[in-house]
Structure 1
Amino acid sequence: MTPENPTPAAIEPVNILLVDDEPVNLTVLETVLEDAGYRLIHASSGEQALLALMTHEFAVLVLDVNMPDMTGFELATLIKQRRKTAQVPIIFLTAYFNDEQHVAAGYGTGAVDYLHKPVNVDILRSKVAVFADLYRKERALQAANSALQGEVAERRSAQERLRLLNETLERRVLERTTALRASESELREANRRKDEFLAILAHELRNPLAPVGYAVRLLRLKAAANPDVERATQLIDRQVKVMGRLIDDLMDVSRISQGKIELQRQRIAIAGVLHEAIEGVRPLIDEASHTLKVDLPAEELALHADATRLSQAFMNLIHNAAKYMDKGGRIDVGVQREASEVVVSFRDTGIGIATDRLDSIFEMFSQVETALSRSRGGLGIGLSLTRRLLELHGGSITARSAGHGQGSEFIVRLPLAGALEDAPLPAQGATPAAKPAGTLRILVADDSRDCVETLTELLTALGHTVRGVFSGHEAMRAMEDFEPQLVLLDIGMPGLNGYDTCRAIRGQPGGARVVMCAVTGWGQPDDVRKATEAGFDEHLVKPVDPDALVALLSHARWSSPAKPTP
């Protein structure tokens, strides 16, 4: 990683173009901007400047406005018209024009700053340094992206790709935020790009996880009696779920930042939400031989909340407690009423938190462990997501710890359900299991051969008749002679994407009777809406939980028998 204050030898010199028709002015500028990190190139006319721009790349252009053959404004207009040079920042220098109309004209040509001679030396140096640093970071980001693409091309393991992508993401967010902090509009643009990147990242990471999940279920079906295989499949299954959880957390943070999460509130019991959260983390607790104690009050405490999102917040806290403890630790969860609030405490005997970090741990990408000792993994977004989810419910969270090795305690406060929300609590009890549907004819379409082959083999092992294809056009052709009851269709396929394929199938004779299910790495609400509008009945996000797939196959809609196998 680049040091925060690199020595001159560690800095790759960047090109800075100085344009002025007066040699003495060029000499002065060179003296002012002399720096080991800069390569200063002179031009005494607009033509020389254009020639230099065709030959070199520049971090910034310092340009005199009043030149005889071509004014600085005219030169700036030509520069901004060329795609190769349009993004080069331009700082105008002038000793003649001070009126607002002239300054506005300068900014109108695309300049980023307008300084009057005699120039304040410190201001000019500072502005040039900002653009030079931004140029270096943009080039570093491009180099990182190129390296990342090279790693993907070499088909490294999914876990290694995830690590590299997460490191790139953290570096990119940090560099972008630091570089653009001075401008509110630029910060908004950076956040928009970050959200797009997260959506693409989630999609690209979910795709390779899907066939891994299918293969795990297939191994369990075919080698259930082999304890070594069962241990291996359990390990793989846990890691797939961990990676899926990281992806979901990233997307949830992004959606909350954009205001795209809407809570589905209802009257719920706090005890039921805690039970669901604990069961979600139970495998990790048991594996680490931790002791978990829950202390609930005798009275029933009700909240007006989104059960799924609140369970997610509690699960994050219990998961962190279990993860940041050595084996045989203890977790105490306590619930009590204080006036019109319910207070839930999560106390553990783990590694503890330094007192000066108790507030910052709720910030995005904050880590309790140092970068060199991050043996327990994580992106540092779980607590930030938890706080935001609780705040959406009108609640709050605080942290306590006596320091390293002294354990931690997180205190959650949530408003109790009011008198106007006194609807009956939902009935407790398990949802009845779906009945098996028998043999189905299933068409699987995905441009990933691994996805098609593993999913086809899994569905076949479950007793279904399956055909796999690798494009939308092949899926269209298969509809004619295979006549499937269910189509599992990837969205991001080249040529004919999943949306268009679904619409085309719906337009065929008998296409309205086929159950269409989108299986995709795109899982935002807008993606579900687009799938519904295209004609899909179901929407599953990769990596698909095999249990969710089995539940789909057991749906009550499968009332008609499958077409007999020829």
Structure 2
Amino acid sequence: MRTYLTRLLGQRWAVEAVPDGEAALKAAKNRAFDLVVADVMMPRVDGFGLLRGLRSDPELSTIPVIMISAGASEDARIAGLEAGADDYLVKPFDARELLARVSTRVALRKLGMSIAPERWGVHDVFAHAPIPLIMLHGEDLVVEMANSASLSTSRIDRNMLGVPLLELAPELTGQAVPELLREVMRTGVPYTEQELPVKLQNGDRLEETYWNVIFAPLRSASRNDRRVIAIYTEVTAQVEARRKLEALTIELETASRTKDEFLAMLGHELRNPLSPILTALELMRLRGQYSREQDIIERQISHLTRLVDDLLDVSRITRGKVELKKRRIEIAEVVARSIEIASPLLEQRAHRLETDLPRRGLAVDADLDRLAQVFANLLTNAAKYSDQGSRIVVSAERGDGVIRVRVRDFGIGIAPDMIGKVFGLFVQESQSLDRSRGGLGLGLAIAKNLVEMHKGTVAAFSDGPATGTEMVVELPAAHGDEPDDDLTDDGMDSALRTARKRILVVDDNDDAATMLKFAFEELGYAVEIANDGPSALRIAKSFRPDVALLDIGLPVMDGYELAGRLLEQRDPTRALHLVAVTGYGQEADLRKSAKAGFEDHLVKPVDLRKLERVVKQLVS
């Protein structure tokens, strides 16, 4: 800082730099200085000690001192001024502001503040100061002097010198400025303010303006001879620009929240029609009516479901709504799960998948489902951007405290200008109009965010078009105990046949309710349906269901209220199990449904086999 100040101030003045307050006092006693610029924090004797030394010495007491400090609070500034500083500047500061303040203080020093203005003989110094300066005198604040800079930036002209300030600007009556100027003259304590609001007349209306001001007292031997120097710079444009930026920031944040709410609602509305379609297909499968065309429909619906899930994942991740449920797991378990997720596309495109990783020894502390989603997205990306029947290799190794996983394909590669962009939202390589690769360009963005939530990194490498791509994920290696051996998947339950357990299905989408009714009747359950809360309550009184499958977004009364009413009116000798089957699937929705009494929460479109398992477990 000392070197910087020496270089900056040395462009205009002769500067002597010393390391601490003790050296400064010694130099001041040996040589004459027009100004001292002192840091508050110095070794041996600090800035306040230097001030006390200067002010206690009659020969040095009038040397102006500008204090520099990192303390930005109002208390710190007041403490500096009360200790005797003439000005107080907070780090970091603008070089122009420092030069302006030093120039002012040097000019005031040269004016000789204990001598009447008409005897100073240095009017030219005042007049040519590079910043606006006005000298005001007496309780009426008479304009005594004004330099050329002030004349060019205010309504004061040379014919108005000798006129009280409030005659020049009557709109200042009742505002803070006149009283602040008088207070400085009375107390001798300088006043500094950033963005001081002042209302000034502009035509026929008052206009709010903002000013950075310094009001400095002029010391005089006579108590009746009081003057104040006003130094001011208008910053209205800067204040308005900052406020516009703040308003724009709020507007953007609001738009972002609105976007997230829209995505959540869009996901709910898209899931509603998907659910009965998938249920109908599953019912056809159970009845042995499945055909090749229906297989195509199921594949396309599954694809649409993944797109909806990607949209909602992006919304949750960008808002920090994803909570990781970490445990000690092997990378082999994660990769196995990800291959299971990506297998439909891998099989559809007849890719040859090779793995090169040990079953044990590569443990990480991670959320299995979310990390499996990462590698499933990378595998899906490799499958989409590789020709039919291509080779994809997944390998893993330990190195430098990390577990490194590589997903290598031999597909279309990535152009050099896209390498740094592929992990952005909605980013895809250029495609022809048929968009044969599909997708929304969200998979890699989701993968990157989830990896970073695990304190890891992911990077893409490619030598260019037609050379293939390698995605490399690095995750912190786990230390300590080995994870439990949990690499086997749960087997699917066989078709459920129950002793006529009763199910009440409540959904305002009649197709969805009807499809669930058909499906569970095929599985041996007694099923009744309702399309709103009042109907459900009426049916439940006589039907006495064992399980109620409730949509949340119902008309008349929502699913949460209906759940409470059903539990209140149920036969106390019979159990009633509530399951939410809804398009609302965010963390807050799950917490709310649990609080309302739901024992499980399934998000549409629901896999019928999963719903079967949930119901069977509840009624067994």
* Shorter-chain TM-score range: 0.5 to 0.7
Q: Which residue of 1 aligns with 2:488?
A: 429
Q: Which residue of 1 aligns with 2:532?
A: 471
CA displacement at 1:278 relative to structure 2: 0.6
Partner of 2:140: none
Contact in 1 for aligned 2:415/2:464 (Cα 8 Å): yes
Matched, 1:521 2:587: no
The one-letter amino acid paired with 1:427 is D
CA contact (8 A) 1:202 1:251 kept: yes
Deviation for aligned residue 1:549: 0.9
Equivalent-residue separation in structure 1 for 2:597 and 2:359 (angstroms): 49
Deviation (angstroms), 1:285: 1.2
SS state at 1:507 partner: helix
CA contact (8 A) 1:445 1:487 kept: yes
For structure 1, the 5+ residue unaligned runs are 1-92, 105-118, 128-178, 560-566
1:353–1:401 Cα contact (<8 Å) kept: yes
Distance 1:98 1:352 in 2: 65
Cα separation, partners in 2 of 1:223 and 1:297, compared to 1, 3 Å: closer
What is the CA-CA distance between 1:433 and the residue it aligns to? 5.7
Q: Which residue of 2 aligns with 1:389?
A: 450
Cα distance change, pair 558–301 in 1 and its aligned pair in 2 (3 A): same
Structure 1 partner of 2:560:
499
- CA distance in 1 between counterparts of 2:283 and 2:325 reads 35
Partner of 1:324: 385
2-side partners of 1:348 and 1:277: how far apart? 16
1:183 aligns with 2:248: yes
Give the deviation of 1:271 after TM superposition. Answer: 0.6
Are 1:197 and 2:262 an aligned pair? yes
Which residue among 468, 477, 483 is the counterpart of 1:416? Answer: 477
Instruction: Summarize the Cα distance change of 1:94–1:289 in structure 2 as closer, same or farther, 3 Å threshold.
Output: farther
Once residues 302 and 515 of structure 1 are traced to their aligned partners in structure 2, the CA distance between those partners, rounded to angstroms, is 39
Does the Cα contact within 8 Å between 1:445 and 1:469 map onto a contact in 2?
yes
Q: Is the 8 A contact 2:330 2:360 kept in 1?
A: no
- Which structure dedicates a bigger proportion of its chain to helix? 1
Equivalent in 209, 221, 238 of residue 299 of structure 2: 238
With 398-407 and 336-345 compared, the bigger mean Cα shift is at: 398-407
Determine if contact 2:332/2:359 at 8 Å carries over to the other structure: no
The aligned amino acid for 1:532 is A
Whichever of the two has the greater Rg, that structure is 2
Deviations 1:354-402 (CA, angstroms, capped at 9, x unpaired): 1100111111111113373522211111100000000000111111122
Q: Which amino acid aligns with 1:443?
A: L
What is the rounded CA distance, in whole Å, between the counterparts of 1:253 and 1:336 in structure 2?
Answer: 29
Question: Which secondary structure does the structure 1 equivalent of 2:406 belong to?
Answer: strand
- Provide the rounded CA distance (Å) in 1 between the counterparts of 2:405 and 2:462: 16
Query: Within 5 A, what are the aligned runs for 1:115-514?
Result: 183-224=248-289, 229-297=290-358, 300-370=361-431, 372-419=433-480, 422=481, 424-431=483-490, 436=496, 438=498, 439-510=500-571, 513-514=575-576
How far 1:232 sits from its partner (Å)?
2.1
Higher relative contact order (CA 8 A, sep 6+): 1
Q: Aligned in 2, Cα 1:517/1:495: closer, same or farther, shift over 3 Å?
A: same
Say which SS state the counterpart of residue 291 (structure 2) adopts.
Answer: helix
Equivalent residues of 1:97, 1:103 under 8 A apart: no
Corresponding residue SS for 2:527: strand
Partner of 1:533: 595
Q: Which sits farther off after the overlay, 244-253 or 486-495? A: 244-253
Cα distance, 1:318 vs structure 2? 0.3
Distance 1:313 1:97, change over 3 A: farther
Q: Is the 8 A contact 1:220 1:233 kept in 2?
A: no
Equivalent residue for 1:139? Answer: none
Is this contact kept in 2: 1:437–1:554, CA < 8 A?
no
Matches of 2:201 and 2:266, distance apart in 1: 46
> % of aligned pairs identical?
42
Work out the number of aligned pairs and report it.
392
- Secondary structure of 1:259's aligned partner: coil
Determine the structure 1 residue equivalent to 2:615: 553
User: 1:337 and 1:221 mapped to 2: Cα distance?
Assistant: 46
**Cα contact 1:437–1:553 (8 A) shared by 2:** no
Answer whether contact 2:341 2:376 (CA < 8 A) is retained: yes
Separation in 2, partners of 1:94, 1:323: 67
Q: What CA distance in whole angstroms lies between the structure 2 residues aligned with 1:181 and 1:411? A: 39
Task: Give the Cα–Cα distance (whole angstroms) in 2 for the partners of residues 181 and 410 of structure 1.
Answer: 39
Does the Cα contact within 8 Å between 2:570 and 2:576 map onto a contact in 1?
no
| CA displacement, residues 54-80 of structure 1 (integer Å, 9 cap, x when unaligned) | xxxxxxxxxxxxxxxxxxxxxxxxxxx
- Name structure 2 gaps, 5 residues minimum: 1-199, 212-235
The C-alpha deviation readout for 1:303-325, integer Å capped at 9, x for no partner, is 01111100000000001111222
Q: Distance in 2 between matches of 1:352 and 1:180?
A: 41
Q: CA separation in 2, counterparts of 1:235 and 1:261?
A: 33
RMSD: 2.9
Counterparts of 1:306 and 1:501, CA distance in 2: 34
Three-state SS of the structure 2 residue aligned to 1:513 is coil
Once residues 516 and 352 of structure 1 are traced to their aligned partners in structure 2, the CA distance between those partners, rounded to angstroms, is: 50
Distance verdict in 2 for CA 1:525–1:303, change over 3 Å: same
CA distance in 1, matches of 2:432, 2:555: 40
Deviations 1:532-551 (A, max 9, x none): 12221111110001121111
Paired with 1:292 and 1:97, the residues of 2 have a C-alpha distance of 79
Q: Distance in 2 between matches of 1:495 and 1:94?
A: 58
Distance 1:352 1:424 in 2: 36
Determine the C-alpha separation between the residues in 1 that align with 2:352 and 2:388. 10
The 10-residue stretch of structure 1 (500-509 or 431-440) with the greater mean CA deviation from structure 2: 431-440
Distance 1:299 1:266 in 2: 15
From the superposition, tell whether residues 298 and 478 of structure 1 become closer, same or farther in structure 2 (CA, over 3 Å). closer
Equivalent-residue separation in structure 2 for 1:241 and 1:414 (angstroms)? 30
Give the conservation status (yes or no) of the 8 Å contact 2:532–2:557.
yes
- Please state how far the C-alpha of 1:99 moved relative to its aligned partner: 8.2
Q: Where does residue 63 of structure 2 map in the other structure? A: none
